[in-house]
Amino acid sequence: MTEKTQVFAAIGQLVRYGLRCGLLPEEERVYARNLLLGELRLDDYTETAAPDPADLSQILRPMVDYAVENGLTRGDSPTARDLFDTRLMNCLTPRPAEVQRVFREKYAVSPQSATDYFYKLCGDCNYIRRDRIARDVKWVTETPYGTLDITINLSKPEKDPKAIAAALSAGSSSYPECALCRENEGYAGRLDAPARQNHRLIPVTVNGSPWFLQYSPYVYYNEHCIVFNSVHTPMKIDGDTFRKLFSFVRRFPHYFVGSNADLPIVGGSILSHDHFQGGRYSFAMEKAPVEQTFSVRGFEDVRAGIVRWPMSVLRLDSPDETRVIALAEKILAAWRQYTDESAVIFAETGGAAHNTITPIARKNGGDYELDLVLRNNLTTPEHPLGLYHPHREFHHIKKENIGLIEVMGLAVLPARLKSELSALQSAVLSGADLCADETLAKHAGWMQEVLARHPEFSAGTAEKILQQEVGHVYCAILEQCGVFARDPAGRLAFERFLDSLN
């Protein structure tokens, strides 16, 4: 059992943490302490001398343990614990109006000063759980297209069976309407919806409309932000999308911003709420050069080219963003209705539209730059999950959609791969039969190919070899998602589309 003295010590440590980080001013020391006592249903307090742990999770653990033991939580699942520790952090987190006020003050100094402040706050208040993100497995793989980033995501919580069962018995709720809606700010959460009491939003005007800026709690890359419409409205790629993207880039020129496509299979996980993702990070696709230029009649002033990338990407740039937007609208309109049966590209089948675009905008020196990734969500009997989607032979590594982040060169791989790759390494080194293991059998054929390519596979080289081979699988997946193949026939087909623009 957790003793009260341990809880008192943790309360003192958490308050001092808030003071050190700047979440709390000195004037709110006692106020924050009393809020924490209230959450823990404690009526008294004794100051207890104890060293301050470096890790915030270590400070929170005794208080959450005490809450579980005394029936203050919704059980003892990881989800229930997250719900409660978020309540504790809310006692330290500045109120939304205060966060917005400071952000405006910092923005008057510079946009970067404002985002630096906000990003730090989101980590300090544990909305971004730094301890979990630190557990993500990351490496890079060199490919013909540049250095790809590979990550096995361990920070985004997996579905907790206990929480799922409890949520089912508790009934469903449609509030907030989705995980992005502004109503998440301050929401206490449920066993089937994360607590967001320490979540803060920044109002931003995007192309004349009210939107909000927040950071992703899972931070797949540096300053991974989400910009979303204040109204719950579906994703839609059109000319206004390009205007919105550059509207944001003008306000935050140190950030890129992009949109997932607006169709299933090639879109993101949330198509029901219009939103973008951005941040301060240079992906491999941004660094990739233009390998072939082209021009469109009437837009000779806009530099345009095909990017050397496994997917089919057009890059437009000009000092005049309106010219980039106008050409992008022309390309989008042409692509929406483009069919090339010889290249297995169909604008629609059975009344269902297939062609769309994943756009990414950024400032490059004095120029406005826009990458347009051509997408198509056609399915076939051989590829029922999508022709331009990870094919069956790679589903043992990844079968999920390839969205904006992965399009740009950062693989977000499922958490299962951490244990599977470790078990695979051990099994191969011990000479075990992979096909006899239900979990590893799906990797057996691929592993045969890996061993044929790497006779040096040993205890000292295995981990590195497996990581690099996974990276090469990801690269091959990106090639499969390209609507125009990276071969002479594919290039001719690409050029036929470009010719259709004139």
DSSP secondary structure code for residue 148 in this structure: E
Measured distance CA(268)–CA(291) in Å, rounded: 28
- Give the bridge partners for 316, in sequence order: 304, 370
Q: How confident is the model at residue 429 (pLDDT cuts 50, 70, 90)?
A: very high
> Is the pLDDT reported for residue 159 higher than 90?
no
Which residues sit opposite 306 in a β-bridge?
292, 314
Q: Which residue has the higher pLDDT, 51 or 250?
A: 250
Whether the per-residue pLDDT at 500 is higher than 60: the answer is yes
Alpha helices, H only, 151-305: 161-170, 239-251, 284-287
Contact 23, 124 (CB under 8 A): yes
Pairwise CA distance, residues 31 & 33, whole Å? 5
DSSP count for the chain of H helices, then E strands: 16, 15
Q: Which residue has the tokens 């980590």?
A: 123
Q: What is the mean pLDDT of residues 187-208?
A: 96
The position carrying tokens 């343990």 is 65
Q: Extract the tokens encoding 183.
A: 């109503």
Lowest mean pLDDT among 110-124, 263-277, 286-300, 404-418: 263-277
Q: What is the pLDDT of residue 290?
A: 98
In angstroms, the first-to-last Cα distance of the chain is 75
CA pair distance 213, 201, nearest whole angstrom: 6
Look at 172 and 187; give whichever has higher pLDDT. Answer: 187
Quote the CA–CA distance of 223 and 113 in Å, as a whole number: 13
Residue 161 is predicted with a pLDDT of 47
Confidence of residue 171 (pLDDT cuts 50, 70, 90): low
DSSP string, 391-436: -GGGTTT--S---HHHHTTEEEE-THHHHHHHHHHHHHHHT--GGG
Distance CA 190, CA 155 (A): 19
Residues 68-85: pLDDT tens digits?
Answer: 999 999 999 999 999 999
Selection from 4, 166, 11 nearest residue 73 by Cα: 166
At position 210, the amino acid (one-letter code) is P
Query: Reduced to 3 states, what is the DSSP secondary structure of residue 256?
Result: strand
> For a pLDDT cut of 90, what percent of the chain falls above it?
93
**The pLDDT of residue 407 is above 80:** yes
Reported as a single tens digit per residue, the pLDDT across 269-279 is 789 999 999 99
Phi-psi region of 50 (alpha: psi -120 to 50; beta: other; left: phi over 0): beta
As a whole number of Å, the CA-based R_g of the chain is 25
Can you give the pLDDT at residue 289?
Answer: 98
Q: Is residue 94 exposed (0-12), middle (13-18) or buried (19+ Cβ within 10 Å)?
A: buried
**CA-to-CA dists, residue 447 to 73, 299, 383, angstroms:** 45, 50, 23
3-state per-residue secondary structure call for 345-384: ECCEECCEECEEEEEEEEEECCEEEEEEEEEECCCCCCCC
Report which of 185, 198, 196 is spatially closest to residue 14, judged by C-alpha positions: 198
Residue 249 CA to residue 256 CA, distance in Å, equals 7
Asked if pLDDT for residue 160 goes beyond 50, the answer is: no
Please give the C-alpha separations between residue 224 and each of 65, 119, 132, 245, 278, in angstroms, as whole numbers: 31, 9, 15, 16, 6
Quickly list DSSP for 70-94.
TT-SS-SSHHHHHHHHHHHHHTTSP
**DSSP result, 222-251:** TT-EEEEESS------SHHHHHHHHHHHHH
Spatial distance between the Cα atoms of 464 and 47, rounded to a whole number of angstroms? 50
Give the pLDDT of residue 50.
83
Band of residue 32 on the pLDDT scale cut at 50, 70, 90: very high
Contacts by residues 226-231 (CB-CB < 8 Å, ≥ 24 positions apart): 226/180, 226/275, 226/276, 226/277, 226/278, 227/257, 227/275, 227/276, 227/277, 227/278, 228/180, 228/273, 228/274, 228/275, 228/276, 229/273, 229/274, 229/275, 230/182, 230/203, 231/274
In the numeric block, which tokens belong to residue 236? 């839609």
Tell me the pLDDT tens digit for each residue of 358-396.
999 999 999 999 999 999 999 999 999 999 999 999 999
User: If you search the block for the tokens 């952000």, which residue do you land on?
Assistant: 103
pTM: 0.94
Question: Beta strands 256-258 and 225-229: pairing type?
Answer: unpaired
321-357 pLDDT per residue, tens: 999 999 999 999 999 999 999 999 999 999 999 999 9
Examine residue 176 and say whether the peptide bond preceding it is cis (omega within 30 degrees of 0).
yes
Type of residue at 89 = M
CA angle 165, 170, 176 (to 5 degrees): 105
Residue 325 to residue 357: CA distance in whole angstroms: 14
Evaluate if residue 162 carries a pLDDT over 70.
no
431 — pLDDT class (breaks 50, 70, 90) = very high
Between CA 74 and CA 166 the distance in angstroms is 9
**Residues 166-185, mean pLDDT to the nearest whole number:** 78
Identify the band that residue 168 occupies on the pLDDT scale cut at 50, 70 and 90: very low
The kind and range of the H/E element at 471 are helix 462-481
Residue 28, pLDDT score = 97
